[in-house]
A and B are shown apart, each in its own frame.
Chain A
Amino acid sequence: MRRRRLIPSLFLIPAVLFLIIFVIYPFLYTICGSFIKWEAYEAKGVTVENWVEILSDRRIISVDRFLDLKAPPYGALLHNFIWIAIMVPTSVFLGLILAYLLREVRGGSIAKSLIFLGMVVPMVVGGILIRFVFDKEAGVVNAALNLLGLGEYVKTWTAYPDTALYALIAGSIWLWTGFNTVIYSAGLETIPREIIEAARVDGATGFTIFWRIIVPLLKPVTLVAVMMTTLWVLKIFDVVYVATMGGPGGATNVLALDMYIRAFYWVPPDYGGAMVVATLLTLLTLGVAAYIMRVTVRIK
């Protein structure tokens, strides 16, 4: 009996070691490091200066530009928030509609695979594709604008501060919505046909059935979709790095990219600032994750 309890616990050791060395220790180090004064590569005492500097850094927050209705940059933190505010509702709603429509369509699974492709290809390729469709000459978006008689808007959308951020957001909705479509499809399969048939017999229209029966039943899936989309946007890096490198003039800077630039692009690096940005990012993602866990536990 004793042996049986001990040996299986040994099974945990490799995983725990990996996690301590490569996740837990560096993660705690980053949080503590955000309170350390760094001179290039040397630690020089404890301070809150990094935090003060980052929170008043216009690369991170420039609310005034946003409030004055000027074009971006509004700062990385605000860009992440704007990204979430636009992308989460759009992508979740699109995913729901697509999953619902494609369920009864011939060849729906092929269509779903096409939409899901954005989740399969490397995000670096996703960034190239976004840059590509918005290109002035080679981009299909501008060709469509010309076709619709909107020639005045033709330009390389990712190269101008007033449009770059929104072009990237549109592109990332295109890349990510396949995820929401897939989880909504899985959720739809769990809804018993009888419920829908019964409603139909009672005279409910397709529209009523969708809003009054299907959407409420899918509420747990919606929650997962909202949270996972939010997490994805918070961590976004590859797309921005490849398509714009945070430019033009910081108009598409986001937290993950800003952290990278401070730590690995600038010479000498700004480790203190980078660790603050990383900690901010972690606080946001952990907040979202904690919320998911609390809610899913309650649903169970």
Chain B
Amino acid sequence: MRRRGRKTRLIIHLVAWSIALIWAIPYVGILITSLRPYSEVVSGWWNIHPFTLTLEAYKAVWSNPTYPLSRGFVNSFLIAIPSTIIPLFVAALAAYSFARFRGSILKDLLFLTIVTLMSVPQQAVIIPVFGFMSRINMINTRIGLILLHTAFGLPWQILFLRNFFMTMPVEVEEAARVDGATDFQIFYKIVLPMALPALASVVALQFNWVWNDFFFALVLLLTPEKWVVTQTIPALKGRYLIRWDQMAAASVMASVVPVIIYALLQKYYVKGIVGGVMKG
């Protein structure tokens, strides 16, 4: 098939891999920095004499007396898990309705509105949200942040799942309807299981977005006891002296969870990203 010379292929390999490796240098740097004592990395992690491996930095941030990263982890999971599950069902229900029961202009208009909401920035809603949450004592509660994350996840999930549902064959659902199944039974017992690949994309992306979110948490979670991982990291930074070993360890730990999700669900992750933006 390919008719390129060996030399050209070699050059392409060399160029491509050099770029990729340069791209990876900061990650390598942060990983090495996190595993060595501060005195060895303060003037550069690439100096390898002496080279001591230690987990001291990890221990230090994990159980920091004021802002333990361990607490941030617990809080992040407590936020991210419900903020992934709740919108999944709400969005799937709505997406199914949009995909299968069309016809009225009103519904098309509603769909278009929801898709448009995808581009509303977080900053455009946060002051009023903060205002009404203060009035009903939802500031500094996990439930408030979870509900907000749920709402913000809905538009792209509805769009993405509706596109997926529309590619599914209708015959199975119609057969079930003839057998007397209700709309909800069909949705719950037939449509959802058939849509598992799409649901995996939604779970992977939404979990990572919530885990990685900083802005909403920063505004709504006020006391350090409630802080999530992304809030804990800047607090650990220190204003004048940056303990690079500890910052590196905290960064690595904060990234482990989303990286694992990405590694496990890579296929679905990429599909979610490509499908979410390319079919709009």
Chain A stretch 210-267: residues in CB contact (< 8 A) with chain B:
220-221, 224, 228, 231, 234-235, 237-238, 241-242, 255-256, 259-260, 263-264
Cβ of B12 and Cβ of A12 under 8 Å apart?
A: no
A residues 17-41 in Cβ contact with B at 8 Å: 18-19, 21-27, 29-30, 33
Closest A residue, CB atoms, query B280:
A296
Which residue on A lies nearest to B38, using beta carbons? A138
Contacts of A15 in B (CB 8 A): 90-91, 93-94, 114, 154, 158
> Is the CB–CB distance between B230 and A26 below 8 Å?
no
Q: B63 in the interface, Cβ–Cβ < 8 Å?
A: no
| Min CB gap A86→B, angstroms | 18
- Stretch binding the partner chain, chosen from A46-54, A60-68, A272-280: A272-280
Residue B19, interface by CB 8 Å: yes
**Cα-based distance from A286 to B117 in the complex (angstroms):** 9
- B280 engages A186 (CB within 8 Å): no
Give the residue of B15, B123, B214, B244 whose beta carbon is less than 8 angstroms from that of A123.
B214
Name the residue in B20, B116, B208 with the highest tally of chain A Cβ atoms < 10 Å from its Cβ: B20
Of B9, B27, B29, B130, the residue contacting A117 (CB under 8 A) is B27
- Are B120 and A282 within 8 A (Cβ)? yes
B58 within 8 A of A: no
Query: In the assembly, what is the distance between CA of A104 and CA of B13, in Å?
Result: 8
Q: Which of A18, A174, A238 has the most CB of B within 10 A?
A: A18
Q: Which residues of B contact A29 (CB under 8 A)?
A: 127-128
Contact, CB under 8 Å: B127 / A102: no
A11–B158 alpha-carbon span in the complex (Å) = 12
Is there contact, CB below 8 Å, between B150 and A18? yes
Interface 1/0 per residue, A107-148 and B, CB below 8 Å: 110010111110011111100110111010110100100000
Please name all residues of chain A whose beta carbon is closer than 8 Å to the beta carbon of B97 when the two chains form the complex.
8-9, 11-12
Main secondary structure of the interface of A (DSSP, over half): helix
Interface residues of B in 103-135 (CB under 8 A from A): 107, 110, 114-130, 132
Contact (Cβ within 8 A) B101 A9: yes
Q: Please determine whether A237 and B16 come into contact, CB atoms closer than 8 angstroms.
A: no
Where chain B touches its partner, the secondary structure class is helix
The 8 Å CB contact of B259, one of A98, A121, A271, is A121
Asked if B187 contacts A11 (CB within 8 A), the reply is yes
Partner pick for A27 among B8, B118, B124, CB 8 A cutoff: B124
Partner of A14 from the list B93, B114, B117, B208 (CB cut-off 8 Å) is: B93
Cβ A231 vs Cβ B100 within 8 A: no
Q: Bound complex: CA of A255 vs CA of B123, how far in Å?
A: 9
For residue B94, which residues in chain A have a CB less than 8 angstroms away from its CB?
11-12, 14-16
Contact surface of A with B, Cβ cutoff 8 Å: 4-5, 7-9, 11-12, 14-16, 18-19, 21-27, 29-30, 33, 98, 101-102, 104-108, 111, 113-117, 120-125, 128-129, 131-133, 135, 137-138, 140, 143, 174, 179, 182-183, 186, 193, 197, 200, 206, 220-221, 224, 228, 231, 234-235, 237-238, 241-242, 255-256, 259-260, 263-264, 271, 274-275, 277-279, 281-282, 285-286, 288-290, 292-293, 296
The 7 A-B pairs of least Cβ separation, nearest first, read A22-B151, A111-B20, A289-B119, A26-B128, A15-B94, A26-B125, A29-B128
Interface residues of B (CB under 8 A from A): 1-4, 8-9, 12-13, 15-17, 19-20, 23-27, 29-30, 33, 41-46, 87, 90-91, 93-94, 96-98, 100-101, 107, 110, 114-130, 132, 147-148, 150-152, 154-155, 158, 182-184, 187, 208, 211-212, 214-215, 218-219, 229-230, 233-234, 237, 242, 244, 247-248, 251, 254-255, 258-259, 262, 266, 270, 273-274, 277-278, 280
Given A19-B114, A27-B124; 17 other pairs, CB 8 A cutoff: A8-B100, A11-B93, A15-B91, A22-B151, A23-B151, A108-B16, A117-B27, A122-B212, A124-B212, A128-B30, A140-B44, A183-B273, A242-B234, A275-B127, A278-B123, A282-B121, A289-B119
